[in-house]
Amino acid sequence: MEKKAPSLFNLAVIVGALGYFVDVYDLLLFSIIRIPSLKGLGLSAADIDSKGGDILNIQMLGLLIGGIIWGILGDKRGRLKVLFASIILYSLGSIANGFVHTLGQYEAARFITGLGLAGELGAGITLVSEIMPKERRGIATSLVAGIGLSGAVFAYFIKAQFGVGGDGWRTCYFIGGGLGFLLLLLRIGVLESGMYKSMHDTKVSKGNFLALFTNGQRFKKYITAILIALPNWYVIGILITFSNKFGSIMKVTGPVDPGYGIMVSYAAISIGDVAIGFISQWFKSRKKSLWLFNAITIVSVIAFFNMQGQSPTAVYWVCVFLGLGTGFWAMFVTMAAEQFGTNIRATVATTVPNMARGSLAVIVSPLFKALLPSQGYFNAGWITGIIVFAISSICLAITPETFGKDLNYIEPL
């Protein structure tokens, strides 16, 4: 009897989506409640800005280290084990955030949380990619990311409900940790990838992270997979995060709230991430769908820099379209996973999104800051954009098409 293909709404996809929902909630929660939480610890207004940046960098360090650790473990020990272990760690980390009373404790709690958060998306996308038939793989992974990214919107409303005054910000962290542990109950029924199980007991090299750097062709595939996502972090990390400053320079008619801009953009990113799966299916091409979303983003960036004298509402609408255009998170991770064999796929799919997140700190922000003294805020913004889109476009152009690719193979390491 022919085996029935898994449904788009099978347990692995549902749990992957809900897992990423909690992941995004916990990942962005500090940025959303940074000011009330640091005020609650007694920091001055000046220290809130500087120390807040330090805590974000420490969280990013946890993500980068965790991405490598979880990726290697995902190939050596299994996708499901990583999903269970990572969610336990970031749930405990989130709860610990609610108990901090000193800056040092806060930094340690965010590092642990970042370490745990690094494993969720890559392991989930790898598992779903290997379980689903190749004809529906892109739609399934898009559903995981699209539903998951709405966790940012949920975090914004939880902050509005609980985190405005007093110690309410602690409740926001407790909610995140509690949601994580509830997910563990759902994960009990999820099965390991058949591809992984058939490869696990063989003697092939598994999870060899360094192998990504010892072969020229393999390294090119890996680095281009990361750099394709540069526009995402340029848009979120520069344009929307500092939309209040850009709005002031462009004489927008009222104050722009970056927090609200992030919320509406992530709502649009969530929609985009679901849509791109179906668009990729329609085009029968990963690359064509990414070119389309890049075009939407470029037009939206041009609109952003032409907001002179407009209202804050108009700026927020541009943030919506910026979010829609950068709603390719699942597709870029799926493409990365599809380019590598089963014995190193989790390593790639887990490290690539975390390296892409790190690109904001090591490529995009340094470039923007280097241009500031000579070009000023406005010009530095759009020049950075031109460079970012040029790099991303070159990487996308030389990336092989992966739509419909059979993933049941071993990478020769």
State the alpha helices, DSSP H only, in 42-150.
Answer: 45-76, 79-97, 103-117, 120-131, 137-149
pLDDT band at 133 (very low <50, low <70, confident <90, very high): confident
256 and 387 fall within a common domain: yes
CATH, residue 248:
1.20.1250.20
Share the mean pLDDT of the chain: 90
65 and 126 fall within a common domain: yes
pLDDT of residue 7: 67
How many domains, the chain?
2
Among the three residues 195, 223, 243, which one is the final residue of a domain in this structure?
195
Mean pLDDT highest for which of 138-147, 241-250, 308-317? 308-317
pLDDT band at 6 (very low <50, low <70, confident <90, very high): low
d(CA 55, CA 66): 16
pLDDT of residue 1: 39
The token pair that represents 305 in the structure block: 């820099």
159 and 219 fall within a common domain: no
159 and 245 fall within a common domain: no
Cα–Cα nearest to 18, from 118, 174, 148, 190: 148
354 and 283 fall within a common domain: yes
Percent of the chain with pLDDT over 90: 63
> Which pTM value belongs to this model?
0.88
The token pair that represents 335 in the structure block: 């493409």
pLDDT of residue 177: 94
pLDDT band at 149 (very low <50, low <70, confident <90, very high): confident
Lowest-pLDDT choice from 53-57, 266-270, 288-292, 349-353: 53-57
230 and 114 fall within a common domain: no
Average pLDDT over residues 182-186: 85
d(CA 390, CA 220): 17
The token pair that represents 101 in the structure block: 């009373």
pLDDT of residue 2: 42
221 and 177 fall within a common domain: no
Alpha carbon 353 to chain centroid, angstroms: 6
Q: What is the pLDDT of residues 109-119, one digit of tens each?
A: 999 999 999 99
Domain with 324 in it: 208-403+409-413
Percent of the chain with pLDDT over 70: 98
Residue 270's CB is within 10 A of a number of other CB atoms, namely 25
* Inter-CA distances, 28 with 17, 63, 270, 337, Å: 17, 13, 14, 25
Higher pLDDT, 186 or 224: 224
Letter string b/e over residues 115-146, b meaning 16 or more CB atoms within 10 A of that residue's CB? bbbbbbbbbbbbbbbbbbeeebbbbbbbbbbb
Average pLDDT over residues 136-157: 89
161 and 282 fall within a common domain: no
Q: Is residue 203 part of a domain?
A: no
Q: Is residue 134 part of a domain?
A: yes
266 and 384 fall within a common domain: yes
Q: Are 171 and 97 in contact (CB under 8 A)?
A: no
Q: Is residue 64 part of a domain?
A: yes
Among the three residues 195, 224, 258, which one is the final residue of a domain in this structure?
195
Average pLDDT over residues 67-73: 95
18 burial class (0-12, 13-18, 19+ CB within 10 angstroms)?
buried
Q: Is residue 201 part of a domain?
A: no
Q: Is residue 202 part of a domain?
A: no
Q: Is residue 200 part of a domain?
A: no
d(CA 251, CA 232): 26
82 and 145 fall within a common domain: yes
Q: Is residue 288 part of a domain?
A: yes
Residue type at position 306:
N
Higher pLDDT, 70 or 10: 70
34 and 147 fall within a common domain: yes
Kindly give, in sequence order, each residue whose CB lies less than 8 Å from that of residue 210, ignoring residues fewer than 6 positions away: none
Q: What is the pLDDT of residues 158-167, one digit of tens each?
A: 988 886 677 8
81 and 187 fall within a common domain: yes
Residue 331 has pLDDT above 80, yes or no: yes
Q: Is residue 1 part of a domain?
A: no
pLDDT of residue 32: 83
Among the three residues 140, 171, 195, which one is the final residue of a domain in this structure?
195
